[in-house]
């Protein structure tokens, strides 16, 4: 009885008792959610266009951030470093297409999935080798990203909002809007949607699959770079980031692997759910439940609605 009270009643009472804390937690959740969404976005882009589930998306985030900071450490000015990093991400996309996607073009999806494991570990080793494994500080100031926080008086108390988080939300929205316009309006965007629909049909109208793949992986690389900058600005650049990238998987389950709005909604739900869960229910269980809470939510979803909120139903035909 006491246990039931603790689980089902007490946390809500706590929420009501200190609404400013609730708002703070919600905000933190949303911010984390935005970043999860961005990572999930990269996955969705690649999956939509090439059917590959790119496990390495998370490490690409770290790799991009590391490249940026590493270049800067070697004396390259901030915005030049940014341009160079973008070029590096393009080369990465090109290399992946040539060395991994093309040779494995007709293999079952699970093989491609496992190949991205290999890519992940390779990038981890490579990144650490070139840039060193210590934690680095994101060059937020040099990129003109804001610092400091705003204190809002609301909900009976104070809510502290980091300016960088606001910037992250704005940049993420711009990115999503940009991608949406890109997909809907431009020629290449149309080609990407065609490829996502059917590889064979796209080939038959003369769309080069290889070019599309390079473009898509490059786009995912840009998304990764943006995510890396934002995340690094909040909490430094280290390889722990790729564990955070593993969080994107529950987001994708929730939102559906093929849906961009799903990635966003899923990310926000997971982000908020996780933070609320950790803050209000965590102390009951021993804290640190963030490490698995998202996965359990995803698991429950999987059992009832495997295609996620927005995804397409998978029908098996004989």
- Determine, following the binding rule CB under 8 A, whether residue 133 of this chain makes contact with another protein: yes
The piece of 6-14, 65-73, 99-107, 210-218 that touches another protein (CB under 8 A) is 99-107
CB 34 within 8 A of CB 272: no
DSSP β-bridge partners for residue 159: 152
> Parallel, antiparallel, or unpaired for β 157-162 and 149-154?
antiparallel
| Angle, in degrees to the nearest 10, between helices 19-50 and 163-185 | 30
Residues 236, 76, 220, 237: what is their CA dihedral angle, to the nearest 10 degrees? -10
- Determine, following the binding rule CB under 8 A, whether residue 3 of this chain makes contact with another protein: no
- Determine, following the binding rule CB under 8 A, whether residue 210 of this chain makes contact with another protein: no
Q: Of residues 17, 95, 107, 197, which one binds another protein by CB under 8 A? A: 107
Report the residue count for the chain.
Answer: 318
Element (H, E) at 281: none
Neighbouring CB atoms inside 10 A of 245's CB total 27
Q: Of residues 243, 283, 284, 312, which one binds another protein by CB under 8 A? A: 243
Residues 255, 256, 262, 264, CA torsion sign: positive
Q: Of residues 10, 20, 128, 236, which one binds another protein by CB under 8 A? A: 128
Q: Of residues 27, 43, 53, 310, which one binds another protein by CB under 8 A? A: 53
Nearer to another protein, 16 or 286 (CB): 286
Q: Which of residues 272-301 bind another protein (CB under 8 A)?
A: 285-289, 291-292, 295-296, 298-299
Nearer to another protein, 115 or 215 (CB): 115
Could you give the 3-state DSSP secondary structure of residue 151? strand
User: Which chain residues interact with another protein by CB under 8 A?
Assistant: 53, 99-100, 103-104, 107, 109-111, 113-115, 117-126, 128-129, 133, 243, 246, 249-250, 253, 285-289, 291-292, 295-296, 298-299, 302-303, 306, 316, 318
């Amino acid at each position: 009885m006491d246990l039931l009270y603790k689980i089902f009643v007490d946390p809500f009472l706590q929420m009501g008792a200190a609404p400013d804390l609730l708002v703070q937690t919600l905000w933190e959740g949303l911010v984390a959610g935005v970043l999860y969404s961005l990572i999930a976005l990269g996955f969705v882009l690649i999956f939509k266009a090439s059917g590959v589930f790119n496990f390495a998306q998370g490490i690409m985030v770290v790799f991009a951030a590391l490249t940026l900071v590493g270049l800067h450490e070697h004396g390259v000015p901030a915005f030049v470093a940014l341009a160079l990093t973008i070029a590096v991400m393009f080369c990465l996309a090109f290399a992946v297409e040539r060395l991994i996607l093309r040779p494995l073009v007709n293999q079952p999806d699970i093989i491609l999935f496992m190949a991205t494991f290999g890519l992940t570990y390779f990038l981890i080793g490579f990144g650490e080798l070139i840039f060193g494994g210590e934690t680095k500080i994101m060059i937020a100031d040099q990129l003109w990203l804001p610092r400091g926080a705003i204190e809002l008086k609301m909900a009976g108390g104070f809510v502290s909002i980091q300016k960088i988080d606001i910037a992250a939300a704005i940049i993420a929205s711009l990115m999503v809007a940009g991608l949406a316009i890109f997909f809907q309006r431009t020629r290449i965007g149309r080609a990407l949607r065609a490829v996502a629909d059917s590889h064979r049909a796209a080939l038959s109208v003369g769309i080069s699959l290889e070019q599309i793949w390079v473009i898509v992986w490059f786009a995912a690389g840009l998304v990764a770079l943006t995510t890396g900058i934002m995340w690094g600005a909040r909490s430094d650049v280290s390889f722990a980031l790729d564990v955070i990238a593993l969080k994107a998987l529950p987001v994708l389950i929730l939102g559906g692997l093929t849906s961009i709005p799903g990635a966003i909604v899923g990310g926000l739900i997971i982000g908020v759910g996780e933070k609320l869960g950790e803050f209000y229910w965590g102390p009951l269980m021993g804290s640190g439940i963030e490490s698995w809470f998202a996965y359990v939510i995803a698991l429950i979803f999987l059992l009832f609605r495997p295609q996620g909120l927005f995804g397409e139903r998978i029908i098996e035909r004989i």
